[in-house]
Structure 1
Amino acid sequence: MASLRFARLLVLLLSLSLPLATQAALHNFIDDIPSDAKYDYVIVGGGIAGSVLASRLSESEKWKVLLLEAGPSDTTNDKIPIPFENGRLFGSEVDWNYTSTPQPGAFNRTIPMIRGKVLGGSSSLNHMTWNRASNDYWDNFGRLVDDPGWSWSGVERYYDKVQRLVFPPDEHDDSKEVIPSAHGRGPVQISTTGFHTNIDQRVLNSTRDGSRYSFNPDSNAGDMVGIAWLQSSITSRGERSSASTAYLHSSVLHRKNLDVVVNARAVKLSSSQNNANRSDGSRKIRIDTVEITNTPDSPRRKITAAKEIILSSGAFNTPHLLLLSGIGSQADLANPSLNIPVLVNSPGVGKHLADHPLLPNYWLVADNNTFDDVTRYPDVEERWIKEWQKERKGIMVMPHAGNTLGFFRHPEGFRGGEDPSSGKRSGNTEMIYLNGWAEFGQPVPRTGNYLTILTSVVSVTSLGQVTLRSSNPFDPPVINPNIFSTPYDIDSMVQVMKDAEDLLNFNATDSPWKDYIISKLNPFTTDAERADYARNNSVSISHGSGTVRMGSQHDHEAPVDSSLRVKGVKGLRVVDASVFPKIPECHPQAVVYVIAEKAADLIKEDHKE
């Protein structure tokens, strides 16, 4: 244990010795950079992938790099660094505030589709849950794109390059909560909880070796199945570790060959060459120009990239920009209401949208130490925030997603053995255990103390799409995740709801929940009742992906190849969650980091760096 603590301390000291950013390369508007500025790479989107690429590509002093972010700097909102406060960011000025179409599988409800509109992207406002996906997921990834370089053996070194395990904020002994050898030495800091709650040990005492509810010593060691301590992108100081803090503010913004511009919205891609209107397949079109503005009434400016434009705007905005630029289904773009000239007929753009449905399940408990009063009373919340500001201690250092989670395989015989997951080391469903009322469309009641189990279907089969609302780039995209559109998905949610009830089993004599749980809210007697509750109350967990899917050269429905280049054009690449050939059976932020690190090497190799 002593040697482990020394090793982690050494990594921390090395990170503190990095040069501090001068902020010289951070600009608030596109007009803040000279009109004659020239760039080798223009990266559209300052989220996870964009931050990684800006950092890695600007390592070469001979390349000039521009990173564009539509939202503000993450330094403008004082709640972003506070882990427990992430829910306060949803629906704010750092959220795109997108909403789904009415969902037939959810009784025609519309659902918030949360996405970060801020430097760091969704890593600046998500729940910080850290899953790198199972080895089976990555091996299946390699098979789906017909490129073994995307299998686990091909990406493992990039995962090590992304993250490092640090002390929890309260410096407790975490040696039984993680497997240190499964972690690397990268800039994103990962830790287990720095504030324990009264349910943590009860959850662990509910595990049963050899059963579907077994204990997993580290869900980031290749096999995700079982109940584990939740790992989060939270620093040893109890602050959010985002793509922006880890890859930009920490040591990169001082570079003279990198410009980062916030409040800069890309509205169109084009070619500066005469072949811009050719779409007959006789030769590839070179896309080298991005049109940028801030508001619908602001002047527009064109920036040209000598080598590549890289789209890292996420699963909603990347296909939106491609479609606005004439890269998409010829049949859809030819619609008279759009009338967008087709540059490349790529019918897969915007299709194959996958997301994980999330459902809060509530129990009334005999515990006065839940976090309900923190969310219920602003003065209580403010007291905890002041403690965090002073000492970086207390409840604000924990994620508002709980301290423990579990991924589960379906029981024998479920739907005739149907299993759309990547393999036996991936789950079909998930539970997250929270010591209080989780506010997902349902405000905390005025009285009472609660336990929430968030249930989710992670091996989903429902697929939706992202389409254009109009040819106006400031009209939001039409987002249809199509949740619960297959019998498998709703049956899976019903199964994990029953699993949550079975795991607690608070009426059993030897249950760790006996005398803790008073009653279940919304008790069910039939699966039909559970299904109705799920359709009425499920939301998106904000894991949208797959809308510009990666595939082999022979997969004509896949818009990008296994090197992340957009098929049919030159000079354009996509690096973000939209390229997933299959949605990960987990929380995907770490997967995006890995893809971005590998993409940086692919780009350097293509341009012989």
Structure 2
Amino acid sequence: MQRTPEAQPLDGDSYDYIVVGAGSAGSVIAARLSESGRHRVLLLEAGPSDWNPWIHLPMGYSKLYSDPSVNWMYESEPEPGLNNRVLYQPRGKVLGGSSSINGMMYVRGHPKDFDGWAEAGCPGWAFEDVLPFFRKSEDNSRGENRFHGAGGPLKVSDQSFDRELPQALRAAAREAGLKDNPDFNSDVQDGFGYYQMNIHKGRRWSAAKGYLKPARSRSNLRILTGATTERILLNGTVAEGVLFRRQGKLLRVQARETIVCAGAIAAPQLLMVSGIGPADHLKATGVGVVADRASVGQNLQDHTNTQLMFRCIKPITINDIANSWVRTLGTGLQYLLTGKGYFSETGIYVGGYARSNASLDRPDMQVTMAAWSVGERTAKGAKQHPFSGFSFSPEHVCPEARGSVTLKSPDVQVAPSIRFNLFQTDYDLRAMMFGIRLIRHIVRQPAMKPYVSSELQPGPNVQSDGEMIAFIREKAGSDIHAAGSCRMGGDADSVVDPQLRVRGVRGLRVADASIMPRVVRANTHAATVMIGEKAASMILSAA
């Protein structure tokens, strides 16, 4: 085993399993592996416990967007397809990971997404294979049926349907020719409807809340926060534990198996600083090569989006609350007294899926409405306009772009180099242009006439293909759903096999969004929870 002289053993015993990262997958895996009481499990999380009150207040997620105490706040390299702009990449650094700072939307992906994984050499990952794990994770407010579970750790709930603006937008979508879809998580994704959320009784329901809180009292589960994993300890090509830093001390701990759940940016980084990755790149960065795995950090994917913003005639948007201390106070009191109102929601209610080309076998565009409009967004956040406004985002959920995560330093605490290579193909540009036109078509319908005063962004002067492409390059960006950088596959070049074991290394798995061969056509949290459930099942079956 590699030794670092100043590293001290964590304790006198080894563990059965070490889980690195307490996010959407890591929380699930630690809870499931410790459930029987037969296995000793150590969960390491670099961030703090989820005590921050903004985490639990649904509308508070905007406060977490740029809070370094719970957010890694990564940045990409300049993107050539976006006028060399740097893209901000928030990621959760807290128990629950990004499920503690995200927008709480519960959308799984199209069934054919998972069938595509199986067809690409990952048996056991087709939709009918993974559906039981989605159902196992769920406690859906609509109850149990073929597609949904009840009684699971993850609360999935309907939102209030009595908001005037979302109702008008849903009616406008019908007028625009889009079908109603009451459930994007069934076998039909096309259409327009209300999103379900990971919210329960006015509170965020993160993976930490659903999985770790009930498990914390188990004597066989140890959870350490403020613990930054610096390296996987390897004895030849056998993983025997990890090296981590906590409270200024460098510690080592052994385990029979280590499961990396650090996400699509940090997971490949940890593998590479440990000597698992492209040999030439590791040598150039000063890292000794243990396993030459050229695909580590490659195949990085993300959804893309932009925002259309509209000035609203009626004072019924979140802008109107944010810009009035009287209404803010009243809304806060409503939440404290009843647990209801705008503070118990996210402002994201309605949206849907469409196909940018009729020849496609499933939707490639997601559209999402937000009951606010903002000025320029930066890593420090954004401020609502001083008037009534709302936004509508076209999101391309099947991009051709592929990027990479590579090392800048052998020190894991130095953020890696992140490249997405967005909007460098004709299809990616034309799909986003379709999304812009679709939203304008919806907003022009009669149901929206009492609400829309004007289009603020991109504005009525942006009409031609050239003008739209210029707008996309200036304003579009990442939808913050990074995936694929530790690709699962049946081929020798994949990073992990279909059991999520790292190829060329024993005793090591990766289980998070980084293993997706192709990113799902949805927000990634739900699918990552499923990956955690399936990974835990496979690990326990092999024990």
Q: Shorter-chain-normalised TM-score: which range?
A: over 0.9
Residue of 276, 280, 304 corresponding to 1:331: 280
Residues 380/320 of structure 1: CA separation in 2 closer, same or farther (3 Å cut): farther
Q: Tell me the equivalent position of 2:450.
A: 515
- Does residue 1:560 correspond to 2:496, yes or no? yes
Residue of 510, 515, 539 corresponding to 2:477: 539
Task: Answer yes or no: is the 8 Å Cα contact 2:423–2:429 preserved in 1.
Answer: yes
Once the 2 structures are TM-superposed, how far is the Cα of residue 180 of structure 1 from its aligned partner? 5.7
Residue of 185, 192, 196 corresponding to 1:227: 192
Once the 2 structures are TM-superposed, how far is the Cα of residue 435 of structure 1 from its aligned partner? 2.2
Once the 2 structures are TM-superposed, how far is the Cα of residue 484 of structure 1 from its aligned partner? 1.0
* Number of residue-to-residue matches in the alignment: 529
Equivalent residue letter for 1:84: M
User: Mean Cα displacement is larger for which, 534-543 or 98-107?
Assistant: 534-543
Residue of 355, 362, 372 corresponding to 2:302: 355
Q: Tell me the equivalent position of 1:55.
A: 31
CA distance in 2, matches of 1:410, 1:384: 39
CA distance in 1, matches of 2:222, 2:333: 35
Equivalent residue letter for 1:229: Y
Once the 2 structures are TM-superposed, how far is the Cα of residue 299 of structure 1 from its aligned partner? 2.5
Q: Tell me the equivalent position of 2:112.
A: 136
Q: Tell me the equivalent position of 1:433.
A: 369
Residue of 506, 510, 514 corresponding to 1:570: 506
SS in structure 2 of the partner of residue 48 of structure 1: coil
Deviations 1:393-422 (A, max 9, x none): 11011124x11111111244xxxx5x5xxx
Equivalent residue letter for 1:89: L
CA distance in 2, matches of 1:440, 1:261: 38
Residues 54/372 of structure 1: CA separation in 2 closer, same or farther (3 Å cut): same
Once the 2 structures are TM-superposed, how far is the Cα of residue 33 of structure 1 from its aligned partner? 10
CA distance in 2, matches of 1:127, 1:45: 20
SS in structure 1 of the partner of residue 158 of structure 2: coil
Deviations 1:194-237 (A, max 9, x none): 3642212212212349x8621112111122111011111111x1
Task: Answer yes or no: is the 8 Å Cα contact 2:511–2:532 preserved in 1.
Answer: yes
- Does residue 1:254 correspond to 2:217, yes or no? yes
Once the 2 structures are TM-superposed, how far is the Cα of residue 446 of structure 1 from its aligned partner? 4.7
Task: Answer yes or no: is the 8 Å Cα contact 1:179–1:217 preserved in 2.
Answer: no
Task: Answer yes or no: is the 8 Å Cα contact 1:133–1:222 preserved in 2.
Answer: no
In the TM superposition, 1:290-369 aligns within 5 A as 290-294=242-246, 298-305=248-255, 307-335=256-284, 338-369=285-316
Task: Answer yes or no: is the 8 Å Cα contact 2:10–2:251 preserved in 1.
Answer: no
Task: Answer yes or no: is the 8 Å Cα contact 2:8–2:250 preserved in 1.
Answer: no
Once the 2 structures are TM-superposed, how far is the Cα of residue 444 of structure 1 from its aligned partner? 4.2
Higher share of residues assigned strand = 2
What percentage of residue pairs aligned between the two structures are identical?
Answer: 30
- Does residue 1:199 correspond to 2:135, yes or no? no
In the TM superposition, 1:161-240 aligns within 5 A as 161-166=136-141, 182-185=147-150, 186-194=152-160, 196-208=162-174, 213-235=178-200, 237-240=201-204
SS in structure 2 of the partner of residue 453 of structure 1: strand
In the TM superposition, 1:477-492 aligns within 5 A as 477-492=416-431
Task: Answer yes or no: is the 8 Å Cα contact 1:195–1:398 preserved in 2.
Answer: no
CA distance in 2, matches of 1:33, 1:59: 26
CA distance in 1, matches of 2:412, 2:532: 26
Q: Tell me the equivalent position of 2:4.
A: none
Once the 2 structures are TM-superposed, how far is the Cα of residue 34 of structure 1 from its aligned partner? 6.0
Q: Tell me the equivalent position of 1:467.
A: 406
Deviations 1:60-108 (A, max 9, x none): 2221000000000012x11001111111101101010101111111111
CA distance in 1, matches of 2:331, 2:518: 40
Deviations 1:27-52 (A, max 9, x none): xxxx9996213211000000011100
Q: Tell me the equivalent position of 2:466.
A: 528
Q: Tell me the equivalent position of 1:453.
A: 392
Tell me the TM-score normalised to structure 2 length.
Answer: 0.93
Once the 2 structures are TM-superposed, how far is the Cα of residue 448 of structure 1 from its aligned partner? 2.0
Task: Answer yes or no: is the 8 Å Cα contact 1:42–1:67 preserved in 2.
Answer: yes
Deviations 1:418-438 (A, max 9, x none): x5xxx42xx211111122215
Unaligned runs of 5+ in 1: 1-30, 168-177, 277-284
Residue of 337, 349, 354 corresponding to 1:390: 337
CA distance in 2, matches of 1:365, 1:513: 10
Once the 2 structures are TM-superposed, how far is the Cα of residue 382 of structure 1 from its aligned partner? 4.9
Tell me the TM-score normalised to structure 1 length.
Answer: 0.83
Q: Tell me the equivalent position of 1:18.
A: none
Q: Tell me the equivalent position of 1:504.
A: 443
Once the 2 structures are TM-superposed, how far is the Cα of residue 514 of structure 1 from its aligned partner? 1.6
Task: Answer yes or no: is the 8 Å Cα contact 2:312–2:389 preserved in 1.
Answer: yes
Unaligned runs of 5+ in 2: 1-6
Q: Tell me the equivalent position of 1:105.
A: 81
- What RMSD, in angstroms, separates the aligned Cα atoms of the two structures? 2.1
Q: Tell me the equivalent position of 2:60.
A: 85
Residues 445/254 of structure 1: CA separation in 2 closer, same or farther (3 Å cut): closer
Task: Answer yes or no: is the 8 Å Cα contact 2:198–2:205 preserved in 1.
Answer: yes
Equivalent residue letter for 2:190: V
CA distance in 1, matches of 2:357, 2:260: 41
CA distance in 1, matches of 2:46, 2:193: 37
Once the 2 structures are TM-superposed, how far is the Cα of residue 114 of structure 1 from its aligned partner? 1.1
Residues 294/532 of structure 1: CA separation in 2 closer, same or farther (3 Å cut): farther
CA distance in 2, matches of 1:212, 1:595: 35
Equivalent residue letter for 2:349: N
